[in-house]
Each structure stands twice: as C-alpha cells, then as structure tokens.
A and B are shown apart, each in its own frame.
Chain A
Amino acid sequence: MLDPAGEATRAAAARLGVDGVRSLRIGKAIELELEAPDQTTAQAQLELLSDRLFANPVIENWQLELLEKAGEQQR
C-alpha cells in the first residue's frame, strides 16, 4: 500500500545525495508497560491490543516477538 510520507522522505534522501534508498516506509512505535499475572496472559492481552486497537488490520500488519535477552516484548 502507498505510504505517501515514506515516499516523500525517500525523495528527500535522494536530494541529500543518497540515491540507493530502494524503499522507505514510516510506521509507528508504541511503548507500553503491562502488568499481567503470567507471560501467557500478557501475550494474549498484547495480541488483543495489537489487533483491536494499535493496528487496523485492514491497512496495517503487526507482529509480536518476545525478546528473551532483553526480557521485554516488542511490537
């Protein structure tokens, strides 16, 4: 899907002299702290939030990864 803000930024990269930017998309980062009794519950709640509130699945994709070392979850 067309990301007009990403395309405008890609054009600006070329004007800065960096011609090799093949694609550039601009998304969102959401930081949250969540309290939950266990990891399974937290995972389910994050999936619910991602699917029903943070992202509109009609136009946006999301994925949830657990980063073991950092001990935190990120979208």
Chain B
Amino acid sequence: MTIGIVVFPGSNCDRDVRWALEGCVGLPTRFLWHEERDLSGLDAVVIPGGFSYGDYLRCGAIARFAPVLELVRLFAEAGGAVLGICNGFQVLTEMGLLPGALTRNARLHFLCEPTPLSVKPGNCRWLTGYSEAEAIVLPIAHGEGRYQCERAQLAELEANGQVVLRYASNPNGSVGDVAGLTNAGGNVLGLMPHPERACDPLTGGLDGLRLLASLCN
C-alpha cells in the first residue's frame, strides 16, 4: 500500500503528512508534484494543507487546474480514497468533488488551536477507526475555514450522513458546525482540522492517528 501526497508550490504540510504516514502509521508514501501525470501504484491520495499557488484569487482556485488533479479527480470518481486536509479541503470544494465553499473566518482571525470535534463516521472510509458521536480533539490552523453552502444543500448533506466532523464549539462561523465532509461514496474526505499534527503525544495528542491509519484496516 502506497499513499500519494500532492505537492503544489506553496504546500507546507506535505512533509508533516509524510512524517505521520511513514513514521507514525508505517505506510510508504510518494510525493506527487503538481505537474505529475502518473498515479499508478497508489492506493490513496492526500491533498495536504498550505497555500497552494499562494492561494491567489481564492483558496484552492488556481490549484484546481493543476495537471495532477485531473488524475486525482478520475481516481476519486473511480472510488479511490482521497483525503483533503485544510487547503486540501478548499481544493476539493473548488474542484467540485465536495459541495460548498470555505470562506474567511467569521471574526477574521487566523485560528491556530486545538479544537474539540464530534465524529459521525457513517460510511466514510477514512473514519472507520472512530465510534459514533466520538469526541476528539484535533488542531486547526486556518484563516479561511468558514464552511458555506445553501440551506437545502446542508439539509441534504445531513440527511445523507455526509457531515462526518462537527465543531463542538464552532470557532469560525461554519454553517451546521461543519468541520469535515465526505462524498456520497464515502471515499473522499475533506476536513479543516489537521489529523497529521495529532499522531504523536509530543505534538498534540493521538486523535488523528486512526484517521490516517484507517486505510490499513
């Protein structure tokens, strides 16, 4: 099993994800430069956090056109496991693999803090290691994490069980306290918190480890 990690100019959590997957979970990884056109041999793809292409125009707006993401889209549509963390979540919404958009935090501050969350795993392949309504803590670090979508869209996502992570005390003004969403197939997960920063007690708890390890199950 090998996990691909997308690297854009401006990504800054790609090495953290590699450290967590290889060092803490024990899975081999391969970096996928944004111009990469070969995903062969990969069992999952992670789009890490950072500021892809400087986040110019809108977060994730330019990354959406990266050559590697054309293949990631096909991979996801064929049922492949895709995880978007923070900027990666923003990219997934810009690509249309997940609905809605992530906008400026309600009180404008960049938020960097441990955040209590509630997990509702449903059929999400990345959350098989968590129990229903489990309370966990993961760090957030974002200026644009306020999830927005139409009211009817949110109702549909909730009815389908696609709102798999919610903030226990909403820090950024997201509708429905949305911190993470999965697609209908459960193979794509986008979340603002950083599971890769919670894979070792020394760096902020262990609550993210089961998420990254879920593909071994």
Q: Mark A residues whose CB is within 8 Å of B.
A: 1-2, 4-5, 8, 53-54, 56, 58-59
Measured in the bound complex, the distance between the Cα atoms of B150 and A1 in whole Å is: 10
| Bound-complex Cα distance A1 to B148 (A) | 9
Q: How far is the CA of A56 from the CA of B146 in the complex (A)?
A: 15
Q: Report the 8 A-B pairs with minimum CB-CB distance, sorted nearest first.
A: A58-B101, A59-B101, A4-B108, A4-B104, A56-B101, A4-B106, A59-B148, A56-B58
Is B107 touching A4 in the complex (CB atoms < 8 A)? Answer: yes
Give the chain B neighbours of A1 by CB distance below 8 A.
103, 148
Q: Is there contact, CB below 8 Å, between B106 and A2? A: yes
- A4-B148 Cα distance, complex, nearest whole Å: 13
A58 touches B100 (CB 8 A): yes
Cross-chain pair count, CB within 8 angstroms: 30
Q: How far is the CA of A56 from the CA of B106 in the complex (A)?
A: 19
Are B57 and A2 in contact, CB atoms less than 8 angstroms apart? no
- Proximity string of chain B (93-110) to chain A, C-beta cutoff 8 Å, 1 when within and 0 when not: 110000111011111100
| B173 within 8 A of partner (CB) | yes
Residue of B nearest to A3 (CB): B104
23 contacts between A and B (CB under 8 A): A1-B103, A2-B106, A2-B173, A4-B105, A4-B106, A4-B107, A4-B108, A5-B104, A5-B108, A53-B57, A53-B61, A54-B57, A56-B58, A56-B61, A56-B94, A56-B101, A58-B93, A58-B99, A58-B100, A58-B148, A58-B149, A59-B101, A59-B103
